[in-house]
Chains A and B, each alone.
Chain A
């Protein structure tokens, strides 16, 4: 089945640790996105990539890093510089540019700090 797979579903981070969230899609979409969702707030864009080997910062990129070495994969690293990482992280993809087409979302990763 075509879709977006995020892993793991739940992740725990220790103080000072970097953790990486995986996002893979087999929809052959050019664009991929990472969002953060906090209670009572709308989704906020962390990073997006419109093509392989290129990515742009979103609204809240500080403390995060990404890579886009393959079309299918857009991993997000939550670094130790992100002081409030506890949130629900959603990955999405779309064919074409930002918001020009419907975005397809993964099931999300819930990150907590130990």
Chain B
């Protein structure tokens, strides 16, 4: 069993839709990261969370430490949001990554 599970694995949405990607983890963590990987492979860090909620533009990330769950929301989705979104957690000296959610936003 993976320490980090993401859902869904694949997601297709119409432009303008509200999108939610979920991440559950089974270990105690000091921080959770949301990453965005573009089709060419480059990765951008979107958020680092240890509690509560963060917002950046149309992106919102939340974390519930008690439930060991985090969500990434995209409001008013756009085709340029199409990418793979990866959840990663740090537990002690270990770093665990989810397998990613592939998002396609259709115009």
- Asked, given contacts A98-B93, A99-B31, A103-B33, whether A41 binds B42 with beta carbons under 8 Å apart, the answer is no
- The tally of residues in B whose CB lies under 8 Å from a CB in A reads 24
Decide: B48 and A42 in contact? CB cutoff 8 A.
Answer: no
Looking at chain A, what size class is its interface with the partner chain?
20 to 34
- Asked, given contacts A105-B43, A110-B41, whether A98 binds B98 with beta carbons under 8 Å apart, the answer is no
Q: Does B12 interact with chain A (Cβ within 8 Å)?
A: no
Decide: B48 and A41 in contact? CB cutoff 8 A.
Answer: no
Interface residues of A: mostly helix, strand, loop or mixed?
Answer: loop
Could you pull out 17 A-B pairs where Cβ atoms are within 8 angstroms?
A40-B99, A41-B99, A42-B88, A42-B96, A42-B97, A42-B98, A45-B95, A58-B95, A59-B94, A98-B90, A99-B33, A99-B90, A102-B33, A105-B43, A105-B45, A106-B42, A108-B42
Q: What are the 4 tightest A-B residue pairs by CB atom distance, in nearest-first order?
A: A42-B97, A99-B90, A105-B43, A108-B41
